[in-house]
Amino acid sequence: MKKKITVLFLVFSMVFISCDQDFNTIGSDLVGDEHFDFDTYTPALKAYSVRTGEVQTNNLPINPLGFYKNPFFGETKANFVTDVALNSVQPNFGTGVVVDDVTLYIPFYSTVESTNADGSKVYSLDSIYGANKESKMKLNVYENGYYLSSFEGPNQDVTSKYYSDMDAIIDAQKRGADASGNSISVASGGTRLNNSSNVAENDEFFFNKSEIITYKTKLNTVTGVLEYVDEKGVVFADKLDVTLRAKNRLAPGIYLHLNKDFFKKKIIESSSDNLFNNNNFRQYFKGLYFKMEQIAGEEGAMAMLNFNVAKINIDYHSIDTGSTIPTAKTFLIGLGLNSGGNTISLQDFNYSGDYDAGLTASNQVTGQDANLFLKGGKGSVVYMDVFGDTDVLKIVDGQLVSGSNEVPDELDQLRLKGWLINDAYLEFYIDKTAMAGNTEFQEAERLYLFDATNQKPLADYFFDSSTNSNSKRNKIIHGGMIERDDTGSNKGVKYKIRITQHINNLINSTNVNLNKNVKLGLCVTENIGLTGNYFYKSPRTFSSGPDINFFPVTSIIAQQGTVLFGTNPTSSADADKKLKLTIHFTKPN
């Protein structure tokens, strides 16, 4: 009997230890938030906002296009330039070439909401920002005249970096088409390439959520004319009811008809040397430039676009060698990173007076700011120092003695306590007064906390393996998602980010690679899965510690922002909303 009791005790102990380990990792949200039988500690914390200045924006995985006005932060205009590439090099187009159509398609991020009886689909769009998401703008597509080199330096051994402020350089060298389709600078009279009579493709462009419908055709091999067909492929005169025509359906996106004469001269009639390989082709055809212009009385809107899946279709018919019958064909041109070349997001941001003043007033020496300002793109990030600056003590043989050891004294004291860290998290409350003019879509949906000293995610990011059907909500235990009120306004209240493992490493680990008290960084994110870094055009400098040369690319892609309470809110009524780090711990027996 005694043996059985001992075994049961051991099993119970193992279960308890296992559960306790899971609890330490998963944290309080899964077991009732803060209702635990352990003590709480709030360490010293400095936090301050820093302008990003101009940022590196070449070869982003996702790029903004359009206009975005935020009531607090200001206005952003985003243009875009990209290399293009032949999907097949050294093409043989045949003889008697007639270009039937040239179209450009860039799909939006969209979701099918329903399907109608006739097979058509109803879509909703994701990643479109603006008070009126269907606000009209002027879209111009030009030939790029500025060569985007992949390498630079005396020996062409340094990867090129392009920055957000290059729009004026690209714009000054844009090219269009003359009356015959020849490439000519816009300054000399060249016109844009999206020359359709449909103003929704240029002068009154908007982000249309409707399904894109084109009609199937068949080439008449005698007349060389494309004729419409029905669902069975039978040709009929195009004067018949349009509802009889067979349809091709595409998800919503930018769908433009481009200048046929220009592409015939630029591609079909080009010398074979220009089309021999894509290195030659990029020297010859330097890509496309997407330039947005506002329309009087229209605020505009902004879309996040994946140009890497964009394509240009040149539909033509010609006669192959040894034949007398024309054949309908399509030649593809790729854009974005799939072109094997370069892209640049060209972002022009005008700071509002309040935002500019808030950044100017931020004090990185004391870190006791009333507000913290986060804005994606050419905006701002927040840096934090935990456990204070005082360093007049050090640990020797388990005792604190006089002397500096490059470790804050507060952290030295905690290391001697032997606490078991159960949970640790930062809470960032939104200043609703500052963000009063913002609607739901303008608030940053998620924040990303990172190790700014080493420019990498924190340990808690890697420890969190939670996933969601929406990848933007992965790593939900680590957190950073906006928490909204339930009163009907759906306005943002706060963000909470769990850093239990990071704090445990700082206090209890003896591994110097894990227990270093690094500077923390905070930014907005468009995708929590993106953890790479891009360069500041000018390094960010600090009153103490080394300069920082780069920061997360996910902040460059995002355009939204938020105003948070800092460690020292102006009003005493907001004292309970100040930024703080809360540590829940268990004392050793």
Give pLDDT tens digits for 321-340.
899 999 999 999 999 888 88
588 band by pLDDT with thresholds 50, 70 and 90: confident
The whole-angstrom separation of Cα 63 and Cα 78 is 9
Distance CA 582, CA 566 (A): 15
Best CA proximity match to 281, nearest among 271, 290, 291, 293: 271
Residue 309's φ and ψ, nearest 5 degrees, are -105, 5
Confidence of residue 23 (pLDDT cuts 50, 70, 90): very low
pTM exceeds 0.85: yes
Q: Report the alpha-carbon distance of residue 408 to residue 405 in Å, rounded.
A: 8
Mean pLDDT is lowest, of 18-27, 120-129, 323-332, 474-483, for 18-27
Instruction: Look up residue 480 and give its two tokens.
Output: 């950073």
pLDDT, tens only, 393-430? 999 999 999 999 999 999 999 999 989 999 999 999 99
Structure tokens at 461: 């990011």
Q: Helix, strand, or coil here: 325?
A: coil
| 585 token code pair | 């711990």
Encoded amino acid at 194, one letter: N
Compute the mean pLDDT over every residue in the chain, rounded to the nearest whole number.
90
Query: Structure tokens of 183?
Result: 């490439």
How far is 518 from 383, CA to CA, in rounded Å? 11
Instruction: Provide the H-helix boundaries in 78-191.
Output: 167-172
Q: Is 347 exposed, middle or buried (0-12, 13-18, 19+ CB in 10 A)?
A: buried
Integer Cα distance of 60 and 46 in angstroms: 32
Top-confidence residue, 26 or 319: 319
CA distances from 120 to 105, 136, 286, 309 (A): 19, 25, 38, 23
**CA-closest candidate to residue 388, choices 367, 405, 402, 372:** 367
Q: What is each CA distance from 336 to 58, 82, 96, 266, 280, in whole angstroms?
A: 10, 6, 31, 19, 17
Q: 28 falls in which pLDDT band (50, 70, 90)?
A: very low
- b/e sequence 281-292, b meaning 16+ C-beta within 10 Å: bbebbbbbbbbb
pLDDT at site 239: 64
**Sign of the Cα pseudo-torsion (370, 374, 380, 382, in order):** positive
The owner of tokens 């002027």 is: 138
3-state class (DSSP) for residue 117:
coil
Q: Would you state the structure tokens that stand for residue 37, as one six-digit string?
A: 């039988």
In the block, which residue shows the tokens 């990848």?
Answer: 471
Question: Residue range 173-190: average pLDDT?
Answer: 98
CA gap 63, 308 in Å, rounded? 10
The confidence score (pLDDT) of residue 17 equals 36
Tokens of 407: 């470790």
Task: Using the CB atoms, write b or e for 374-405: b if 16+ within 10 Å.
Answer: bbbbbbbbbbbbbbeeebebbbeeeeeeeeee
Three-class HEC string of 429-466: EECCCCCCCCCHHHECCEEEEEECCCCEECHHHHHCCC
Helix spans in 291-434 (H): 353-361, 409-415
CA distances from 46 to 37, 382, 453, 508, 566 (A): 29, 10, 15, 22, 9
Q: Higher confidence at residue 472 or residue 504? A: 504
